[in-house]
Amino acid sequence: MPNQVWLTQLRKHRAIAVIRASNMEIGEKMAMAVASGGMHLIEITWNSDRAAELITKLRVKLPDCLIGTGTLFNVQQLKEAISAGAQFLFSPHVDVEMIDAAVAKDIPMIPGALTPTEIVTAWHQGASCVKVFPVQAVGGASYIKSLQAPLGHIPLIPTGGVTLDNAPEFIEVGAVAVGLSSELFPKKLVAAENWQAIAHHTTQLIQKLA
């Protein structure tokens, strides 16, 4: 998927559900719940149970969604994720070799960065956009806002501290999209398998970001 298509999808949907599951069946149910709530961008972290298998399965079960992966640490994992069908790739750090490998396959790569130097380095290397993580540790939405004057040309996706309540603020100050994990999947709701509540929260989030 070319970067331009990916960026169009980000600007259209504005939110990415990040699923980290220690049980593949639960991970699948988590994905189905947010999809039923209207989520179109779903990330399965690579350290989830049988992540590759789950990605392949969700590509079939959720044809209207883009299914990607994250928490990738090296080129080998990246290649395995692409083989499994991952449509976009997140990493918690900037790795030039990984960005190059993703660019060669025309798969959007979103490295994690925090400082302006890291963000610009990732962008110049060919990242489709940059994950700002952990954003809450450095001021949340105000930090994204402060980056806009010098770095407004770089699409930023804040994660790590984005909530159902503050997500709209990140979009308002210039983020292209936001990533949410535990906020979309509270432990109590997952443990109770209350997928209806998770779908409802997802719908509320999407309405706020529209």
pLDDT in tens, 30-52: 999 999 999 999 999 999 999 99
pLDDT mean over 65-84 = 98
| pLDDT tens per residue across span 94-110 | 999 999 999 999 999 99
* pLDDT reported for residue 1: 85
- The sign of the dihedral angle between the CA atoms of 20, 24, 30, 34 is positive
Report the relative pairing of strands 41-45 and 89-91 from DSSP bridges. unpaired
| Percent of the chain with pLDDT strictly greater than 70 | 100
Burial class (CB in 10 A: 0-12, 13-18, 19+), 76: exposed
- The sign of the dihedral angle between the CA atoms of 139, 144, 147, 151 is positive
Tokens describing residue 58? 């969700």
At 202, the amino acid letter reads: T
| Packing angle, helices 96-105 and 75-84, rounded to 10 | 30
In order of their start, the domains of the chain are 3-204 (3.20.20.70)
Q: State if pTM tops 0.95.
A: yes
